[in-house]
Amino acid sequence: MPRTPARKNLPLEDLVRLLPLPLHPLEGPHATELALPDSIVCFYHHSASDMNRPADGRALHHRYVLILALETSVTVCVDDQALRLNEGEGLLVLPFQFHNYIQPAKEKITWLFVTFEMVDGRSLESLRFRTFALSPVIRQLVRDLVLAYMAPNDTDLTIIVFALLLARIKQADPLRRRLHQPPVATELIKQVNQLAQREGGMPNAKEIASSLGISESHLWARFRASCGVNLGRHLRWLRLEKARGLLQLSNSRVSEIAELCGFNSIFSFSRTFRAGYGISPLTYRKGGRLQRKK
């Protein structure tokens, strides 16, 4: 049955009367393959200056980040684009997209963040760089999500409500894109990010510099000047976040993941992973909780 604005506003009793008579009352359409979100975390920020953490670089990780601007407008820089997210709007940041926040309308904000993972996230690709309005239907689902998330022992309900919320967001009309020029040179970050995520092993700084047609020393200097973060630290965190995603979403052995992510040995990988997250790779794979160190 097609959905129309008039039907959306009807009382339930009137809407029910419009249901068509089923041809087969005891047999309906079968469900298609459905990818559900997992490992959902809800939190909020009330201060604009607190959103850019860690302060030593733009955020990058393997999780999805749903951003809902409930109060106050802020520009979200995602990769090489800057999107103004006004009050009452939302945006989904996909895994391994750089993102940070600039130009808040005021310091006091109320922004809800929902981070999550999906084994198969192809259905969410259409939301890349796509802002959407928090319609009454979406706002109600967000409210239901927060209530389910705060309720004890309601993990399944949280997942189901959030899956429904994502489905409604995919149906929402995209807002007219409001692009702004980011105040920092993000093209170099984007190039390094793309090279680091190519198929095969993780390249080192020398290999990246060669691909960009510049000297390694020039790459280090340009990266620090334009991005405000040390290239070595940035590449190390890229390797760790790629490894963290593979530990959760693949069946590869820890030694294979270490090699794929550019570590010389499993011992080096385990030491670096523990230094970054406060936990061993194997313990993390078995469900251990991270303790990221600043």
Angle at CA of residue 106, ends 180 and 229, nearest 5°:
55
**pLDDT at 104 (0 to 100):** 87
**pLDDT at 203 (0 to 100):** 82
Nearest alpha-carbon partner for 196 in 187, 205, 184, 185: 205
Q: What percent of the chain has pLDDT over 90?
A: 28
How sure is the predictor about 169, in pLDDT bands with cuts at 50, 70 and 90?
Answer: very high
**pLDDT at 53 (0 to 100):** 60
pLDDT in tens, 188-208: 777 787 787 666 667 888 888
The DSSP bridge pattern shows strands 81-85 and 179-180 to be: antiparallel
**pLDDT at 1 (0 to 100):** 43
**pLDDT at 199 (0 to 100):** 61
**pLDDT at 184 (0 to 100):** 47
How sure is the predictor about 93, in pLDDT bands with cuts at 50, 70 and 90?
Answer: very high
**pLDDT at 33 (0 to 100):** 64
**Is residue 293 predicted with pLDDT exceeding 90?**
no
**Is residue 56 predicted with pLDDT exceeding 90?**
no
Average pLDDT over residues 252-270: 89
Average pLDDT over residues 210-214: 85
What domains can you pick out in the chain, each with its CATH number?
38-180 (2.60.120.280), 187-285 (1.10.10.60)
Average pLDDT over residues 216-243: 81
**Is residue 133 predicted with pLDDT exceeding 70?**
yes
How sure is the predictor about 32, in pLDDT bands with cuts at 50, 70 and 90?
Answer: low
What type of residue is 268?
A: S
**Is residue 165 predicted with pLDDT exceeding 90?**
yes
Average pLDDT over residues 59-72: 87
Q: What is the pLDDT of the chain when averaged over all its residues? A: 82
**Is residue 235 predicted with pLDDT exceeding 90?**
no
**pLDDT at 228 (0 to 100):** 63
172 vs 5, higher pLDDT = 172
**Is residue 27 predicted with pLDDT exceeding 80?**
no
**pLDDT at 131 (0 to 100):** 94
What type of residue is 258?
A: A
**pLDDT at 35 (0 to 100):** 77
